[in-house]
Amino acid sequence: MSYCINPDCSKPKNAPTVTHCQCCGAELLLRGRYRMIRALGRGGFGATFLARDEQLPGKPPCVIKQLRPSAEAPHILDMARDLFKREAKILGMIGNHPQLPRLLDYFESEHEFYLVQEYINGLTLQQEVKRGGPFTEAGVKQFLCEILSMVQYVHNNQVIHRDIKPANIIRRDQDKKLVLIDFGAVKDKVNPLQAANSDQTALTAYAIGTPGYAPPEQMAMRPVYASDIYALGVTCVYLLSGKAPKDLSYDPNTGELLWLEAVHISDHFAGVLQKMLEISVKHRYQTVEAIHRDLDLEPYMDSLAQNMAYPTAAGGSTSGNTNGSGPASVAGAYAGSSQAGISHSGGSPSSRMAAAIRARRERSNSGGKAAPLVPSHSGSPKPLSRATSAKALSADDVKQKYTKGRRDFSLQGFKELDLQRTMLAEINFNQSQLPSANFQGSDLSNANFGRANLSHASLRNANLVKAYFHYANLEGADLRGANLARASLSNANLRGANLCGADLTGALISSDQLAVARTNWSTVMPNGRRNGL
C-alpha cells in the first residue's frame, strides 16, 4: 500500500504502485525514493510513518518522522528548523549505540522537515504488559540492568531524552534486546544557571515529554539528567503494576505518586524506586551509576526495619557514604537521613515511605525476623548481616519456608544443597553461598542469583527463564539443557560452565562470556539461532 501524507487527504490509502494519491493528487514517493506504507502515530507537530526505501535492494523498511510547523510565520519556521537540526544532530551523534535507532537521512521539503530512521521491529513494553500482564520484580530488575546502560550512554553524550516511557522502549524481535526510541523531546544539556536566568528557547518549549512520566522540573522547562531517572522510576511502576500514572493517586500536598500499594516488591527495591521517584531533584538519584550500586546491594535488607526503628540519638544522619550510593544511601532513602539531604520530619516523602514499609511489614505474615542489633564502634545500634546471624538452612528448611510463602533466602550459606525438581519460582538467593548445589530440573524462573556463588552447581534442565545472575559465580556449573531465555547473565563468571543444549534466547550475555563457557551445536544463542547455524 502507498499512504498519502497530506494531512488534509480524506482517503490516504492507495495502491502500492501508484505515484500520486488517487484522492488528493499529492505525490506519493517522497524525495523520489521513500514510499509510505502506513501511519505509526500523529502528534501536535507532525506524524511518524512506516516506509520503504525503494532505491535500495530489497526495499528495506524505515521510519520517517515528519515535522510540520503549525504556522507559516518566519520565526515559527526558524524554530522548527532549529528543532529539526538539533534532533538530527543528536541522532547522528548517538546512533552508533546498537540499542538506539540509527539516523539514515534527513531533509527539508516545502517547509516540512523529515527524519529517516532505522525501523525497529518488535513490541513496546507497553504492548508487552497489555498482552502478558505486569512484570515480576526480577523482570523489572533485568529491565533496569539493560536500560540503565543505554541511558548512561545518552547522558554521557550530554543529552537528556525527556520522554522515557514504556511506549518508547521496544524489545527488538531480532535479538530480544531493548531499544530506546523517539528522541523528539531530547534536550542538549545546558548550564542550569544560564537556563534559570534566560528566557526559554523555542527548542525547550517545543516538547516537554509525557505528563505523569515527566517530573515537575521538566514540566517547568528545567530538565536535568535526573529527570530521565524519574521517568525510569515511573516506567518501573507501570511494568510492576500495569497501571499508568494517570491510574494512580497523587499526594495533593506534595504531588508525589502514591504507588507503593499497587506493587508487590521487596522493601529494598521499594527504597531504590522511591529514590528514583523523589519529587525534589536534589533528593533523587543524580546518576545511573548510583542506581546500579544500590541495586547491587541485594538482598532485600530485613535490617532496614531495625534501622528505621532505632534512629541515632541526635536524630542525625546515618553513618556511611555520602555520595548517594551504598547501604547508607538506601537506608537514608527510607529513614530520611540528612546524608541524602532529607529532613527527619514526619511529613517528608522518605519518612512517609518508611512508615508505609513498616506498616506493610507488620501486615505481612511471613514470620521472618529482623537481624539482631549489636553495638557498633560508634556506640549506636548496628544490624548484623543475615549471613553471620542466621544458621545455615537445609534443603527441607528451604522447601518448607518456600511453601509457606517465604521467597527471600539471600546472604545464606548452603553446602551441597539438594533441591532438584523443586518449584522455586521467584526465589531470592542473592549473594548466597551455593557451591555444588543441585537444582537439576527445578523451576527457578525469575529467580534472583545476583552475586551468588554457584560454582560447580547443577542446573541441568532447570527452568531459568528471566533469572537474574548479575555478577554470579557460575564457574564449572552444569547448565546443560537449561532454559535461560531472557535471563540476565551480565558480568557473571561462566568459565568452564557447560551450556551445551541450553536455550539462551534473548539472554543478556556477552561474546566474551560465551567464549570461556562450553557450548555445542544444540546451544541456542541469544539471537535465537543454534550455535554455528
The catalytic residue positions are 163
What is the Cα–Cα distance from 171 to 163, expressed in whole angstroms? 17
Nearest to 172 by CA among 96, 100, 93: 100
What is the Cα–Cα distance from 350 to 279, expressed in whole angstroms? 11
Own/partner pairs, 366-374, CB within 8 angstroms, 24+ separation:
366/404, 366/405, 366/406, 367/404, 367/406, 368/302, 368/406, 368/408, 369/302, 370/302, 370/303, 370/305, 370/306, 371/302, 371/303, 371/306, 373/306, 373/310
Across the strands, what pairs with 67? 46, 113
3 state SS of 37: strand
- For residues 330 and 294, the answer to whether their CB atoms sit within 8 Å is yes
Q: How long a stretch of residues is the chain?
A: 533
The CA distances from residue 17 to 13, 22, 36, 55, 150, in Å, are 12, 12, 11, 14, 40
DSSP assigned state of 277: T
- For residues 414 and 393, the answer to whether their CB atoms sit within 8 Å is yes
Query: And the C-alpha cell for 240?
Result: 510492576
CB burial of residue 326 (10 Å; 0-12, 13-18, 19+) = middle
What is the Cα–Cα distance from 472 to 326, expressed in whole angstroms? 19
Q: Give the CA angle between residues 154, 322, 292 to the nearest 5°.
A: 35
Q: Helices in 108-199 by DSSP H: which ranges?
A: 125-132, 137-156, 192-196
Look at the block and give the residue holding cell 531533584: 281
Query: And the C-alpha cell for 381?
Result: 545500634
What is the Cα–Cα distance from 250 to 349, expressed in whole angstroms? 12
Beta strands in 332-412 (DSSP E): 373-375, 381-383
3 state SS of 50: strand
- For residues 135 and 129, the answer to whether their CB atoms sit within 8 Å is yes
Nearest to 391 by CA among 369, 407, 365: 369
What is the Cα–Cα distance from 87 to 114, expressed in whole angstroms? 11
